[in-house]
Amino acid sequence: MVQEEMTPAPRRSGRSGGRAARKALRAAPLADNIRPIRPGMSGGRYKPMTDAGVERIHQAALEALEVIGLSQAPQSGIDAMTAAGADLGDDGRLRFPRALVEDMLAKAARNITLHGRDPKYDLHLSGSNVHYGTGGAAVHLVDLETNTYRETTAQDLYDAARIVQNLDNVHFFQRAMVCRDVTDNLEMDLNTLYACCSGTQKHIGTSFSDPSYVAPCFELIHEIAGGEDVWRDRPFISNSNCFVVPPMKFAEESCVAMEHCIRGGMPVLLLSAGQAGATAPAPIASAIVQAVAECLAGVVYVNSIKPGHPAIFGTWPFVSDLRTGAMSGGSAEQALLTAGCAQMHRFYDLPGGAAGGISDSKLPDMQAGWEQANNNTLAGLSGLNMVYEAVGMHASLLGFCLESLILGDDVLGQSLRTVRGIDVTEDSTSIEVMKSVCLEGPGHYLGSEQTLALMQTEYVYPALGNRMSPKEWVEADRPILLEKAIARKNEILATAPSQIAEDLDRAIRDRLNIYFN
């Protein structure tokens, strides 16, 4: 008998490819245009204020700028803003006529793009498109393996950036920690920049501790970009700038640094971070009024120097626990403040950013979960373009946790799914599948072509979250969520490479004192 006669005919399955093939197909990455969640989905369905309330806040902010104004602008800022039409009073305060504010709002940049080093990470800030990322300046790292807080280092910042590079739902990396092991401030700024750029090709946010440090930092940026022209064509770093010291004062050194960044082609985040009940009024609406007024002054400032320069309207008021005066970043009031600020960004049609998923909890526990989920979801539903501090932040910005960063990717996945909303179309409301299942079929939808087709495009699944039954959980040796996060962190850090070419990295390390490996 010849071999061909001994070979059995291939077994044919009713479903082509079989279960293993279908599982492999579901595990394969989806094309961006059919993913159930992705950067820049449109929010804006949640509005904590009425249209009349938004208009009232706008009018109150304009009145505050005309009557109170802002003090302590640097001379360069005074020169630029008075030339544009601001009034310098005998008391040293700059006041802003309504016509000036309206004129500068008309000149302000809209529909801007924050670039990544890789174009696939570009963030398109228009309308109510939502992006989540990190932020803050934590001075402690939360070490889950010892349940202790220790000072943050340049290595920790680099590790956080590498983790963000590997998280789908964290869309940008704003500096999240202070390099406490770098004592020289210029070296700290350089190490902060280089740690972020070495760890991720997503858009980066950073700040400068002294205006004189901007120039040497730009030298490093141009070196990473491949030249100043390349940088100016696609600036992949933005300046997070606390240009005001609430209430209603300019921060002189930060303003000068901002001017340098504008001239260097770097987008700026105009960050007003008052604390309701302390450095901002206690009523939530009044806290928004002050933040809006301060950021409108920033719009005048930026556009009096360079009309149309990309700037993010960073109304960023925080909340006080009025029993103690301590900051409460995880509170429901914080979620309302952020959502209200998002409404004001949309009212002005300006790219906007504010704080999102801060937790007051010291560890990634149940409290952290509800605070991060509630605040991030409301921020997304309100259509906030840039949700900063969305993951990893604990102890009201004092602590950053790498494992919480990883767990937060699941939180953001759920938040993004709510932002997407419900797709009501002719196909999604057709009763044809219902007729087939109920009148002709098995009486359930588990194996229907519609169900299988929508498994990946309509539904979001957690990467670490546990949906096992109790029996399955026991059989899997009772996996603990935090232990899985630690293991995932260690896996990423063991394999994630630097995002800087080896020869360039060597040249930079030969020239600068770099504190991480």
pLDDT of residue 441: 85
| DSSP type of residue 29 | P
Which residues, in sequence order, are CB contacts of 147 under 8 Å at separation 6+?
A: 363
Is the confidence at residue 26, as pLDDT, over 70?
no
pLDDT of residue 57: 98
**Cross-strand bridge partners of residue 132:** 387
Provide the pLDDT confidence category of residue 24 given band limits of 50, 70 and 90: low
- Dump pLDDT digits (tens) for 136-154: 999 999 999 889 999 999 9
**CA-closest candidate to residue 362, choices 77, 69, 99, 147:** 147
Q: How far is 257 from 160, CA to CA, in rounded Å?
A: 26
Q: How far is 432 from 449, CA to CA, in rounded Å?
A: 12
Provide the pLDDT confidence category of residue 308 given band limits of 50, 70 and 90: very high
DSSP string across 62-97 = HHHHHHT-BB---HHHHHHHHHHT-EE-TTS-EE--
CB 132 within 8 A of CB 380: yes
- With H, G, I as helix, E, B as strand and everything else as coil, classify residue 110: coil
Which residues, in sequence order, are CB contacts of 202 under 8 Å at separation 6+?
A: 116, 117, 118, 121, 133, 164, 165, 170, 171, 172, 173
- Using CA atoms of 99, 249, 255, 348 in order, give the dihedral in degrees to the nearest 10: -40
Provide Rg for the chain, Cα atoms. Answer: 25
Is the confidence at residue 461, as pLDDT, over 70?
yes
We find that the CATH architecture of domain 103-420 is Alpha-Beta Barrel (3.20)
pTM: 0.93
Quick one: average pLDDT of 358-362?
96
Quick one: average pLDDT of 41-69?
97
DSSP string across 204-267 = EEE--SSGGGHHHHHHHHHHHHTSHHHHHHS--EEEEE--B-SSSBB-HHHHHHHHHHHHTT--
Q: How far is 292 from 272, CA to CA, in rounded Å?
A: 8
pLDDT of residue 3: 41
Provide the pLDDT confidence category of residue 27 given band limits of 50, 70 and 90: low
Is the confidence at residue 217, as pLDDT, over 70?
yes
- With H, G, I as helix, E, B as strand and everything else as coil, classify residue 392: coil
Which residues, in sequence order, are CB contacts of 441 under 8 Å at separation 6+?
A: 448
CB 144 within 8 A of CB 486: yes
| DSSP type of residue 352 | B
> What tokens does 442 get?
């098995």
Strands, DSSP E only, in 424-504?
A: none
pLDDT of residue 104: 98
pLDDT of residue 15: 44
- Dump pLDDT digits (tens) for 87-137: 999 999 999 999 999 999 999 999 999 999 999 999 999 999 999 999 999
- With H, G, I as helix, E, B as strand and everything else as coil, classify residue 265: coil
CA angle 404, 409, 410 (to 5 degrees): 100
pLDDT of residue 35: 85
pLDDT of residue 326: 84
Is the confidence at residue 16, as pLDDT, over 80?
no
Is the confidence at residue 4, as pLDDT, over 60?
no
Provide the pLDDT confidence category of residue 155 given band limits of 50, 70 and 90: very high
Is the confidence at residue 493, as pLDDT, over 90?
yes
Mean pLDDT of the chain: 93
- Dump pLDDT digits (tens) for 281-291: 999 999 999 99
- Dump pLDDT digits (tens) for 194-207: 999 999 999 999 99
Q: How far is 70 from 274, CA to CA, in rounded Å?
A: 14
Residue with tokens 């504008």: 262
Alpha-carbon distances, residue 410 vs 169, 236, 376, 404, 413 (angstroms): 8, 26, 12, 10, 5
* CB-count exposure of residue 480 (10 Å: 0-12, 13-18, 19+): exposed
Residue of higher predicted confidence among 173 and 30: 173
pLDDT of residue 451: 87
pLDDT of residue 8: 43
- Using CA atoms of 158, 379, 63, 322 in order, give the dihedral in degrees to the nearest 10: -80
**Sign (positive/negative) of CA torsion 293, 294, 298, 304?**
positive
| Domain map (residue ranges) of the chain | 103-420
Q: How far is 190 from 192, CA to CA, in rounded Å?
A: 5
Q: Which helix (H) or strand (E) holds 203?
A: strand 203-206
